[in-house]
Chain A
């Protein structure tokens, strides 16, 4: 027997009840655990990996919120101090604070925030890796009269194949896609994966009027070269001419590994990049 939508579970890294930086308006954001890219510049590196219960993080917790229960690392939310030390320790880019939540449980958390919200956003990690969960969550929201008004958005790296997006279309209001690079080699180097599927996703979503925005991360001397700028603006001009483009400035403060050594994007340069992208496109 198949599960009811409310019973379907998702691996949730964190829930933020109010956010003004994850899509239009005030949004409830569900960060899902696990990613199929391994971006050098990831600013949520602890959402990439899946926990294998190695237990390395347990002794590092200063408040005793972590313990091992029959071979599984367990998190006691009520005494956790949100210090994030466990995240820094984890060798697998995961987090012991990840929870397996049912759609019904997420909706219970959503209820208190509903009057103040524009919508919800699933982010990550790569949210679309848990397609079933997202679909069930959005479907349940669209079915309940007091939640229906909430717009349901997906924040994605665009790696989901078109067949996957097709399954979401009827319940999803839109997707925000990260375009990491147009040059395939650069994309591979940055993320570990090729970019064809990302470009296809942008094309498909745009045609179905489900492309909420394209996001591009400006990293000095890596993604902001004139070849890249020309390629991006040419691609968008032909594929998604009316789609809003959001330029984010790279900051090395929340990243790990070699990206820590990369330069920060200066806020003065952003308008110049904007001008270049929008005039050529």
Chain B
């Protein structure tokens, strides 16, 4: 190593080792990331390297030597039935044992952050252990303790619990505990199916949203149609920032295209962008995805050695790759030469172009073979942004602060949702008056699902818990972080995102759309 380079590395390592605001686990993790980044990247050609350096394509800082999949979605149900030889645990026989079993298992599930992003459909997992001998009060206490344990030992807001679509005592207790503790972790999703989920459960969820901006609500019917077949009944789970992924598998990697940068690299015409730029950038994206999968599958020995594979909790062929995009709004406005308040979200022409871009990419993803992946394909994903995204809008969202009235917002994003099998989300900023009228949010949510919205997330103004890109942060933690650090790994991201991405400028809607929709025509 050159002396100069060595000094640079030392400086980076020392910086982490001596940081006054990181705790020892956080330091270990950042040191490891730094070391990983010193290895050469999996083999790429000059163009692909260039695309990554310029930020046109981003691998989400997954590291240079992918030795674990990005998102792991273990089949916890299977684990609970068979126990674990590796962990030397017999199948649990009562509720305490089941909770204990799961809490142990969670600590052995890897992810890009080292903390699991999916800890299961907890209502389904725990319901078989509940009977009348467990009073509501006792159940509440057990879930409350479990929630505290998860938040304090797995401090990462990407960690996700799924409940529903069926009603259950556990699902209701989870919602009750979640609104009481208002913790950042775990993140929570209610899977909603109008023919299965009772209105009273949805109402409870919506009341929670007005108190703590959780859970977010997922269209079960729409997702199940894509993930569940008679031959493959295991279905999907929702993890991290709105990712729908095959259960018993996950995602090897997520690579995303910055559509704003892509538009900047076109000659400025829509035609050139669609016909030349998009296929080219997609080709480079696939090159990076393939290189990363090749390393993970063929060199890292993850799938050959993990007990999760040996015990059948995950299968390599149930992992996909996520082909992500972000900055759609910026690309559309750039190509149409429109300002944010008259472009995407505000006119028919922008809407049509957005749809054309999304369709073009979706066709590429659907037709491109990808080895080592579920159904031999990647899955298309609208990536909801990371903390370093400056001046680029997340996913297919309307830029923060420019959100139109809720109806117009819905009309803009609704037609896009069906293309993003691996997840898309739009955060609807809503005024706090909704707290007095949860039925209104329910009506909007149900209507939107019926019209093909995949996931519904609301951010109610003036809550202490704020959704950043998909995960939550506590406003008070951000204030504190700047002074004394945080025990939560994601607070640092959240703080960057608040500083960089204009999240504070979201336009809260009283759900009284003041701009008449008829103006669009």
A147 at the interface (CB under 8 A from B): no
Looking at chain B's contact residues, the main secondary structure is helix
Question: Is B439 a contact of A16 with CB atoms below 8 Å?
Answer: no
Contacts of A2 in B (CB 8 A): none
Q: How far is the CB of B507 from chain A (nearest CB, A)?
A: 14
* A118/B440 contact (C-beta < 8 A), A18-B512, A21-B433 known: yes
Interface string of B264-278 (1 = CB under 8 A from A): 000000000000000
Contacts of B395 in A (CB 8 A): none
Cα of A193 to Cα of B287 in the assembled complex, Å: 77
Contacts of B511 in A (CB 8 A): 18-21, 26
Question: Is A115 a contact of B447 with CB atoms below 8 Å?
Answer: yes
Question: Is A21 a contact of B510 with CB atoms below 8 Å?
Answer: yes
Question: Is B510 a contact of A116 with CB atoms below 8 Å?
Answer: no
A112 at the interface (CB under 8 A from B): yes
Interface string of A15-36 (1 = CB under 8 A from B): 1111111001111010000000
Contacts of B407 in A (CB 8 A): 17-18, 112-113, 116
Looking at chain A's contact residues, the main secondary structure is mixed
Could you list some 15 contacts between A and B, CB below 8 A? Answer: A15-B516, A15-B518, A18-B509, A20-B434, A20-B437, A20-B441, A20-B510, A21-B510, A25-B437, A26-B444, A78-B519, A82-B515, A109-B517, A115-B450, A116-B410
Cα of A27 to Cα of B444 in the assembled complex, Å: 10
Q: How far is the CB of A253 from chain B (nearest CB, A)?
A: 14
With CB as the reference atom, state the residue of chain A lying closest to B430. A20
Residue from A18, A82, A112 with most neighbouring chain B CB atoms (10 Å): A18
B136 at the interface (CB under 8 A from A): no
Of the candidates A16, A25, A82, the one whose C-beta lies within 8 Å of that of B440 is: A25
Q: Can you list the 8 inter-chain pairs with the closest CB atoms, starting with the nearest?
A: A116-B447, A20-B440, A115-B447, A26-B440, A25-B439, A26-B443, A20-B511, A20-B437
B451 at the interface (CB under 8 A from A): yes
With CB as the reference atom, state the residue of chain A lying closest to B409. A18
Question: Is B513 a contact of A16 with CB atoms below 8 Å?
Answer: yes
Q: How far is the CB of A202 from chain B (nearest CB, A)?
A: 22
Query: How big is chain A's contact interface, by range?
Result: 20 to 34
B132 at the interface (CB under 8 A from A): no
B351 at the interface (CB under 8 A from A): no
Cα of A78 to Cα of B448 in the assembled complex, Å: 27
Q: How far is the CB of A209 from chain B (nearest CB, A)?
A: 20
With CB as the reference atom, state the residue of chain A lying closest to B406. A18
Cα of A118 to Cα of B447 in the assembled complex, Å: 10
Task: List CB contacts (< 8 Å) of B45-79 with chain A.
Answer: none
A77 at the interface (CB under 8 A from B): yes
Q: How far is the CB of A95 from chain B (nearest CB, A)?
A: 14
Of the candidates A18, A82, A109, the one whose C-beta lies within 8 Å of that of B444 is: A18
Contacts of A116 in B (CB 8 A): 407, 410, 443-444, 447-448
A89 at the interface (CB under 8 A from B): no
Question: Is A26 a contact of B514 with CB atoms below 8 Å?
Answer: no
Cα of A82 to Cα of B407 in the assembled complex, Å: 18
Q: How far is the CB of B487 from chain A (nearest CB, A)?
A: 34
A117 at the interface (CB under 8 A from B): yes
With CB as the reference atom, state the residue of chain A lying closest to B444. A116
Cα of A50 to Cα of B437 in the assembled complex, Å: 33
Contacts of B434 in A (CB 8 A): 20
* A20/B512 contact (C-beta < 8 A), A77-B519, A116-B410 known: yes
Contacts of B442 in A (CB 8 A): 25
Interface string of A115-150 (1 = CB under 8 A from B): 111100000000000000000000000000000000
Question: Is A24 a contact of B405 with CB atoms below 8 Å?
Answer: no
B100 at the interface (CB under 8 A from A): no
Q: Which residues of A contact B (CB under 8 A)?
A: 14-21, 24-27, 29, 77-78, 82, 109, 112-113, 115-118
Question: Is B440 a contact of A112 with CB atoms below 8 Å?
Answer: no
* A18/B437 contact (C-beta < 8 A), A109-B518, A115-B450, A116-B443 known: no
* A117/B443 contact (C-beta < 8 A), A21-B437, A78-B519, A112-B411 known: yes
Question: Is A17 a contact of B447 with CB atoms below 8 Å?
Answer: no
Residue from B437, B451, B515 with most neighbouring chain A CB atoms (10 Å): B437
Contacts of A27 in B (CB 8 A): 440
Cα of A20 to Cα of B407 in the assembled complex, Å: 12
Cα of A24 to Cα of B406 in the assembled complex, Å: 17
Cα of A216 to Cα of B156 in the assembled complex, Å: 47
Cα of A25 to Cα of B510 in the assembled complex, Å: 13
Question: Is A17 a contact of B405 with CB atoms below 8 Å?
Answer: yes
Cα of A14 to Cα of B410 in the assembled complex, Å: 21
Interface string of B415-449 (1 = CB under 8 A from A): 00000000000000000011001011111100110
Q: How far is the CB of B221 from chain A (nearest CB, A)?
A: 15
Contacts of A115 in B (CB 8 A): 447-448, 450-451
Q: How far is the CB of B123 from chain A (nearest CB, A)?
A: 27
Task: List CB contacts (< 8 Å) of B492-521 with chain A.
Answer: 509-519
Contacts of B514 in A (CB 8 A): 16, 82
Q: How far is the CB of B415 from chain A (nearest CB, A)?
A: 13
With CB as the reference atom, state the residue of chain B lying closest to A77. B519
Question: Is B513 a contact of A25 with CB atoms below 8 Å?
Answer: no
Cα of A118 to Cα of B439 in the assembled complex, Å: 8
Cα of A118 to Cα of B76 in the assembled complex, Å: 39
Question: Is A112 a contact of B443 with CB atoms below 8 Å?
Answer: no
With CB as the reference atom, state the residue of chain B lying closest to A80. B519
Cα of A69 to Cα of B410 in the assembled complex, Å: 37
Question: Is A25 a contact of B443 with CB atoms below 8 Å?
Answer: yes
Cα of A115 to Cα of B496 in the assembled complex, Å: 38
Q: How far is the CB of A265 from chain B (nearest CB, A)?
A: 16
Cα of A68 to Cα of B518 in the assembled complex, Å: 23
With CB as the reference atom, state the residue of chain A lying closest to B443. A26
Contacts of B440 in A (CB 8 A): 18-20, 25-27, 118
* A117/B433 contact (C-beta < 8 A), A17-B517, A18-B511, A18-B512 known: no
Extra A-B contacts (16), CB below 8 Å, given A17-B517, A118-B440, A118-B443:
A15-B518, A16-B514, A16-B516, A17-B405, A18-B509, A19-B510, A19-B512, A20-B440, A20-B511, A25-B437, A25-B439, A25-B440, A109-B517, A109-B518, A112-B517, A115-B451
Q: How far is the CB of A220 from chain B (nearest CB, A)?
A: 21
Q: How far is the CB of B270 from chain A (nearest CB, A)?
A: 25
Question: Is B517 a contact of A26 with CB atoms below 8 Å?
Answer: no
Contacts of A113 in B (CB 8 A): 407, 517
Cα of A78 to Cα of B515 in the assembled complex, Å: 11
Cα of A276 to Cα of B182 in the assembled complex, Å: 33
Cα of A26 to Cα of B517 in the assembled complex, Å: 16
